[in-house]
Chains A and B, each alone.
Chain A
Amino acid sequence: MITVKFFAVLRERLGLAETQVDADVSTVQELVQVLKQQSERYAKELDRYQLLCAVNQNLLPLTTEVKDGDEVALFPPVTGG
């Protein structure tokens, strides 16, 4: 099981802050593909923005490997400061 968190505009448009994904995926990219196949809403919203990701709370590229028990966060480019 992989925990997936959403932030900012993505969280708002999905109406969801967190979900669990139980799928055989090896990278964040594959995880995103699985979500997109799950519903039209995911397909639409995950394609709308430039997507950044964090794996276990580290900002990393979408090609990063993931495994069972990881926490993956998907979000638009950050705008703090």
Chain B
Amino acid sequence: MSISVRVQQEDFDLATEYQRLAQNKQCGAVVTFTGLVRDSVEGGLRGLELEHYPGMTEKALTDIVEEAQKRWDLRGVTVIHRVGYLSLNEQIVMVAVASGHRQAAFSAASFIMDYLKTQAPFWKKEHTEEGEHWVEAKQSDQQAAEQWSQQQ
């Protein structure tokens, strides 16, 4: 099982990351998720600034991946989260999960994203034409993560 967790300013290439995971001979399924900067404020979003907690971030993401590994039979996981200033439509985050069969890959990818959203120390600040403001956490994200703990 290969785990790769990266927090970086630079962009990433989905095809390269996919190839790396797909090389594993026992891998029968790869699920990838990519999150992008979208215009969520009825027009006028220029970009996002992503702050994080250096040191803790990598550890928190690794803990989440290890928890996923306990729940499903996985062959490889890659998590990349970008930080710094990101313009509209740029890639923010990528989760790729390789496993023997699709169900584990789909579930683990979803689990990792739900936990990342509520446990990993990242904060978004929106830059709009009218100014800047910090994004508030959504109750729906909290509920999505809690559903997994009830299934445990």
Contacts and interface: CB of A to CB of B under 8 A. Distances in A.
A54 B122 contact: no
B51 interface: yes
Interface stretch (A3-11, A19-27, A32-40, A61-69): A3-11
A59 interface: yes
Interface in B96-147: 113, 116-125, 134-137, 141-142
A80 B137 contact: no
Interface string A39-71: 000000000001000100111000000000000
Contact of A78 (B59, B113, B121): B121
A77 B139 CA distance: 10
Contacts of B135: 79
A15 interface: no
Contacts of B122: 78-81
Counting chain B residues whose Cβ lies within 8 A of the other chain, the interface size class is: 20 to 34
A73 B81 contact: no
B125 to A, nearest CB: 8
Contact of A7 (B51, B113, B120, B136): B51
B53 A57 contact: yes
Contacts of A76: 123, 134, 137
B60 interface: yes
Nearest to A13: B134
B120 A80 contact: yes
B52 interface: yes
Given A8-B123, A76-B123, A79-B122, A54 B53 contact: yes
Contacts of B136: 77, 79
Contacts of B141: 81
Nearest to A8: B123
Contact of A81 (B55, B59, B113): B113
Nearest to B50: A80
B35 A59 contact: no
6 contacts: A57-B59, A73-B121, A79-B122, A80-B50, A80-B52, A80-B120
